[in-house]
Amino acid sequence: MCKHKFYIGYQIMMKSNFFKYVFIVFVVVIMVFAIYKIRTDEEAKAQMQQTQAIESEQSKVREINLGIAEYDTMNPITSTNKNVQDIQKLIYEPLVDLTTEYKAEPCLASEWAKQTDTSYIIKLREGVKWSNGKEFTAKDVRFTIDRLKDTQSIYSYNVSEIIQVEVVDDYTLKITLEKEVPFFEYNLIFPIVAEEGYSNESIPLGTGKYKIIQETAENIVLEKNQEWWGTEKTKLSLEKITINKFASLGEMYNSFKIGNVDVISTDNNNLQEYIGKIGYNEKKIQGREHTFLVLNTQNNFLSSTKVRKAISYSLDRDNIVSSVFTNSYYKSDFPLGYGSWLYQLQDTSQDYNPEQAKQELSDEGWTYLNRNWQRNITTTTSTNNRYNRYSRYRTRRSTQILQFNLLVKASDANKVAVAENIKEQLANQGIIINIVQAGDSQYSSSLDSKSYDIALCSIYTSANPSMETFFGSNNLANYTNDEVTELIKEVKNTTDETVLKEDYKKIAEIYKSEAPYISLYSNNYSVVYSASLIGDFSPNWFSSFYNVETWAK
């Protein structure tokens, strides 16, 4: 009986285990099938995405349309059209190029070395060819420099201090300057043209990514330069560029609006009035025109750092930009603030701070009374009586008012409006400003002779980061500072990027804390792209066409 029960129990247990095994196998099969299905679906999806990507890539239009208004010539030596010069960077290359952060980098020159203050050795990149397949050599560079010195070109300034170009060999040049030019390598950004077949009336050969294959009265057609030397040669996916010629900017804007032009660059602050607000993407760039106040440090009051700082603290640059330029310009705090790789300082301690302005003047002995800053002075003079051997002394007390003349060019309506804004802002702080509107010649002569208290000035900044204009000998502010002088010397004679950045940080700090100049604003430069255009867009005021080879529609 017991055996029988044991046997039955054993059978039940075996059946139970059997169903467990079957269930486990079933689950495993399901899991394997699910994993297989997921992997299969993922592979199919990946394959589909790859196919779609290939089809999408193949369907892209490898052609773009550009525009030029008031076209003159594609010869970079003789063209005076800014828009043409920008497009020429697709066809011609310089010895030294600039990155998007305005940093010098090798292009046709592989390296350069400063031998003395006035001489440089330039090593050229080997294996470079002109678009016709002929070899690029040092003779072409010397020829280009000679043409720029003989021609009234926009690039003539770049070579103005060069007095000799010696061809050492096919890939080496020695350049001698008339005088020292700080950061001279930044002057080598002019386009190099081929000597062979050159004439002022013809379009010379280039070494760039694209070459001209056709020119008519209506347009110019570029295609990929198969001889281009660049390591990105295989990535030149943009096949064709058509440059349409227009009689006026208005015509070009209209063509962009209807989709016949893909890219335009301009400093026109009223661009939306011409092209509307939709159908395109815009990149805004801080432009080259830098506007600032010069504070003449030889002025009795402005010789005081505290008075200069008080003026700086009293000015709201945001107010100037919004009131005068309806926020279409950029507030600026340093001449290299346009995006230079050497200016990374984000210090805001010298920004608008009216309470600190009052403190600076109080510390200097000024008193705020009757809505003006005043201070009493006592002067003693001697009076000699010829009948009396003893001298007599006369004491006089007088009151000084903190007031200055502000020089501004009368023909520049925007500058006059800025001067009026500054006058109003400083009046609210108790500092009196008398605006002196000067004609063009009088304005220039006043700057030359430094016959002003404060002057409202603008300069077109260069990619060259030299600060000689502001701190060199005979600078506009009559400002001297031994530490700055040493820093200026050091940055001219080092290539150590860490040292350069640290030195420029110190220069910027002194520029702000000592306030011999007060930066106000920079103009706006815009590059607009059709919404159908895709690619990597990283323009600056030097070039609109970084990474152009990746663009497509």
> Angle formed by the axes of helices 354-363 and 305-314, to 10°?
160
Q: Are strands 454-460 and 403-409 parallel, antiparallel or unpaired?
A: parallel
In sequence order, the β-bridge partners of residue 425 are none
Q: What does the pLDDT read at residue 397?
A: 75
> Quick one: average pLDDT of 322-331?
94
User: What is the pLDDT confidence band of residue 29, given thresholds at 50, 70 and 90?
Assistant: low
Higher pLDDT, 184 or 14: 184
> Quick one: average pLDDT of 478-507?
95
Residue with tokens 């008398």: 434
**Range with the lowest mean pLDDT among 17-31, 54-68, 499-513?**
17-31
Cα–Cα distance for residue pair 320/298, rounded to 1 Å: 27
Ordered structural domains, the chain, with CATH: 52-91+208-279+534-553 (3.40.190.10), 93-195 (3.90.76.10), 287-367+404-525 (3.10.105.10)
Tell me what percent of the residues of the chain surpass a pLDDT of 70. Answer: 85
Cα–Cα distance for residue pair 461/523, rounded to 1 Å: 11
**Range with the lowest mean pLDDT among 76-90, 228-242, 526-540?**
228-242
Mean pLDDT of the chain: 89
In sequence order, the β-bridge partners of residue 293 are 456, 518
For 111, 244, 366, the CA distances from 374, given in Å and listed in that order, are: 59, 63, 5
Here the tokens at position 415 are 């500058």
For 51, 169, 224, 341, 520, the CA distances from 60, given in Å and listed in that order, are: 14, 45, 17, 35, 45
Here the tokens at position 205 are 């050969």
Which backbone phi and psi does 326 adopt, to 5 degrees?
45, 45
User: What is the pLDDT confidence band of residue 212, given thresholds at 50, 70 and 90?
Assistant: very high
Closest CA to 149 of 77, 43, 255: 77
Q: What does the pLDDT read at residue 234?
A: 66
Predicted confidence (pLDDT) per residue in 509-553, tens digit: 999 999 999 999 999 999 999 999 999 999 999 999 999 988 998
> Quick one: average pLDDT of 56-81?
82
Cα–Cα distance for residue pair 200/204, rounded to 1 Å: 9
Q: Does the pLDDT at position 82 exceed 90?
A: no
Q: What does the pLDDT read at residue 269?
A: 86
Q: Does the pLDDT at position 344 exceed 80?
A: no
For 61, 236, 412, 425, the CA distances from 318, given in Å and listed in that order, are: 43, 43, 20, 12
Predicted confidence (pLDDT) per residue in 468-480, tens digit: 999 999 999 999 9
Ramachandran quadrant class, 315 (left: phi over 0; alpha: psi -120 to 50; beta: rest):
beta
Closest CA to 136 of 204, 235, 74, 222: 204
Q: What does the pLDDT read at residue 17?
A: 58
Predicted confidence (pLDDT) per residue in 152-177, tens digit: 899 999 999 999 999 999 999 999 99
Question: Are the C-beta atoms of residues 374 and 401 closer than 8 Å to each other?
Answer: yes
Q: Does the pLDDT at position 53 exceed 80?
A: no
Higher pLDDT, 58 or 363: 363
Cα–Cα distance for residue pair 306/514, rounded to 1 Å: 8
Cα–Cα distance for residue pair 90/429, rounded to 1 Å: 52
Which backbone phi and psi does 551 adopt, to 5 degrees?
-75, 150
Cα–Cα distance for residue pair 142/174, rounded to 1 Å: 10
Q: Are strands 172-177 and 191-192 parallel, antiparallel or unpaired?
A: unpaired
Other CB atoms within a 10 A radius of the CB of residue 58 amount to 8
Q: Does the pLDDT at position 431 exceed 80?
A: yes
Q: How many CA atoms lie within 13 A of 151 on its CB side?
A: 18
Cα–Cα distance for residue pair 56/60, rounded to 1 Å: 6
Q: What does the pLDDT read at residue 327?
A: 92
Question: Are the C-beta atoms of residues 324 and 439 closer than 8 Å to each other?
Answer: no
Q: What does the pLDDT read at residue 231?
A: 77
Cα–Cα distance for residue pair 427/408, rounded to 1 Å: 18
Cα–Cα distance for residue pair 335/465, rounded to 1 Å: 9
User: What is the pLDDT confidence band of residue 349, given thresholds at 50, 70 and 90?
Assistant: low
User: What is the pLDDT confidence band of residue 56, given thresholds at 50, 70 and 90?
Assistant: very low
Query: Which one-letter amino acid corresponds to residue 162?
Result: I
Closest CA to 253 of 83, 129, 408: 83
Q: What does the pLDDT read at residue 57?
A: 45
Q: Residue 166: CB partners within 8 Å, gap ≥ 6?
A: 173, 174, 175, 176
Other CB atoms within a 10 A radius of the CB of residue 492 amount to 16
Sign of the four-CA dihedral 4, 5, 9, 10 = negative
Q: Does the pLDDT at position 486 exceed 60?
A: yes
**Range with the lowest mean pLDDT among 85-89, 243-247, 385-389, 404-408?**
385-389
Higher pLDDT, 296 or 44: 296
Q: Does the pLDDT at position 36 exceed 80?
A: no
> Quick one: average pLDDT of 339-357?
83
User: What is the pLDDT confidence band of residue 3, given thresholds at 50, 70 and 90?
Assistant: very low
Q: Does the pLDDT at position 79 exceed 70?
A: yes
Q: Does the pLDDT at position 4 exceed 90?
A: no
Q: Residue 539: CB partners within 8 Å, gap ≥ 6?
A: 100, 265, 283, 285, 527, 545, 546
Q: What does the pLDDT read at residue 30?
A: 74
